[in-house]
Structure 1
Amino acid sequence: MKNVIITGTSRGIGFELAQIFAKNNYQVLALSRNSEPLKKLKLKNISTLSVDLLNEEDLNKVVNFISKNWKNVDILINNAGKLISKPFCELTSNDFLEVYKVNVFAVAELTKLVVPFLQKGSHVVNISSIGGVQGSMKFPGLAAYSSSKGALLTLTEVLAEEFKTQEISFNTLALGAVQTEMLEEAFPGYKAPVSAKEMASYIYNFAVTGSKFYNGKILQVSSTTP
């Protein structure tokens, strides 16, 4: 069985993604601060860890789990994200820092810890936003969120270059509107054409097969604006 780590699995896309991988015979390590929603499903192949990605001790739990139970990781999906929606002049430095800590710094830190367990053919998939892509339509209130997602795109490109001799692939999916709680926070009342389950199915297929075709790429997965 192959092994996948997914962050942000308490709700939305991450919650659906963990189930799809488990049902397709992957061993899943699901990371989120609230592990209860997945635990309640009692699905085999899913191990949950209650983890704050900004906490060093919690991240060490991940390393200990891999060392004890798996030895190697085939896929890492950095899906967890944080959104603060405020007019730019109301955003504080702390607001920016909170968003960047989750959307950029935590991705870098977890990836750094998992790299020793990745091997030839492994795939790291970062989940970004179409709002982080240069030239895409931007929206008021999302200065911290969209700029952090833009930083994640560049981080992906750099890591792909740095680890290409080890044949570890790094790619980013820049998602458009998906019907999740986070979308509701950003655009109250907006109805997206894609459900969390549908997007999770797309991400699953890309995570499993995409490393054969892409490395260091930013793929825009968006049919609507927002």
Structure 2
Amino acid sequence: MSKIIITGTSRGIGFEMVKQLAAAGHQVLALSRNDAPVLKLNLPEVTTWCFDITDPDHINKAAEWVKTEWGTADILIHNAGMLLNRPFRESSVADFREVYEVNVFGVAELTRALLPYIDTAGHVVTISSMGGVQGSAKFPGLAAYSSSKGAVITLVELWAEEFKDTGPSFNVLALGAVQTEMLEAAFPGYQAPLTAYQMAEYITDFALTGHAYYNGKILPVSNSTP
């Protein structure tokens, strides 16, 4: 059984991943600003507390916990994200900074803090978006969000190159539309082709097995073209 860290676990895909991985017997550290939904599950395989990926103290706490309680972790899934739907001309530097603090800088800092404790044969999976992939369809209002998702894709490619001789493996899943509360808030009334449960199944399987086949890769997970 694996020891798995997941961010963004209070709802949607992250919440479903926690349930699925715990049901399979894996140990899970679930990190989210709102820890109440996971606490209510009362799962013995799961540890959770209130976690802000933009707070250095919270990041240090997570690293120290992994060091003390587990020694090493097998998988890190960067699922936390912030979506802003606002026209570019109405967006401020502060808006961009807030999105990048979660989607890029927080991902980088948590990875930096946890790397000493991630098994060299482990897997770091970052959840990005098709909106961050060059040549994909783009949508007005998502300048901050999609550009941040493009930035984190390149970051993962660089990690894979830097650690290719020592491990762990690093990959990105660029998701298309999934029916989550975040999507509903950004695009009210839009119906996505996949549920959070379905996408969670795919991500958990990839996190557990994908690094046997991929490293430094961006895999589109979308049933639409482009």
1:175 Cα deviation from its structure 2 partner:
0.2
1:184-207 CA-partner distances (Å, limit 9, x unpaired): 122211101100000000000000
Could you list the structure 1 runs, at least 4 aligned residues long, displaced by more than 6 angstroms after superposition: none
1:223 Cα deviation from its structure 2 partner:
0.9
Q: For 1:187-202, what aligned pairs fall within 5 Å after superposition?
A: 187-202=187-202
| Partner SS, residue 160 of structure 1 | helix
Supply the RMSD in Å over aligned alpha carbons: 1.1
2:149 aligned residue? 149
Rounded to whole Å, the distance in 2 between the matches of 1:48 and 1:130 is 29
1:167 Cα deviation from its structure 2 partner:
2.5
| Partner SS, residue 6 of structure 1 | strand
Rounded to whole Å, the distance in 2 between the matches of 1:30 and 1:167 is 23
Confirm or deny: 8 A CA contact 1:177 1:224 kept in the other structure: no
Rounded to whole Å, the distance in 1 between the matches of 2:63 and 2:75 is 15
- The more displaced of 162-171 and 90-99 is 162-171
- The more displaced of 50-59 and 101-110 is 50-59
TM-score by length of 1: 0.98
Q: For 1:152-167, what aligned pairs fall within 5 Å after superposition?
A: 152-167=152-167
| Partner SS, residue 194 of structure 2 | coil
2:96 aligned residue? 96
1:118 Cα deviation from its structure 2 partner:
1.4
- The more displaced of 181-190 and 1-10 is 181-190
Letter paired with 2:4: V
| Partner SS, residue 215 of structure 1 | coil
Rounded to whole Å, the distance in 2 between the matches of 1:169 and 1:16 is 24
Rounded to whole Å, the distance in 2 between the matches of 1:115 and 1:142 is 31
Confirm or deny: 8 A CA contact 1:129 1:146 kept in the other structure: yes
2:25 aligned residue? 25
1:60 aligned residue? 60
1:86 aligned residue? 86
1:175 aligned residue? 175
Rounded to whole Å, the distance in 2 between the matches of 1:146 and 1:111 is 21
1:39 aligned residue? 39
Confirm or deny: 8 A CA contact 1:119 1:166 kept in the other structure: no
Rounded to whole Å, the distance in 1 between the matches of 2:169 and 2:142 is 29
2:119 aligned residue? 119
Rounded to whole Å, the distance in 1 between the matches of 2:179 and 2:66 is 32
1:168 Cα deviation from its structure 2 partner:
1.1
1:93 Cα deviation from its structure 2 partner:
0.2
1:36-83 CA-partner distances (Å, limit 9, x unpaired): 001101112000021111111111210121122100010000000001
Structure 1: any 5+ residue segments left out of the alignment?
none
Confirm or deny: 8 A CA contact 1:5 1:77 kept in the other structure: yes
Letter paired with 1:175: L
- The more displaced of 185-194 and 99-108 is 185-194
Letter paired with 1:79: N
1:225 Cα deviation from its structure 2 partner:
6.6
| Partner SS, residue 68 of structure 2 | helix
Alpha-carbon distance change, 144 to 225 in structure 1, aligned in 2, over 3 angstroms: farther
- Total equivalences in the alignment: 226
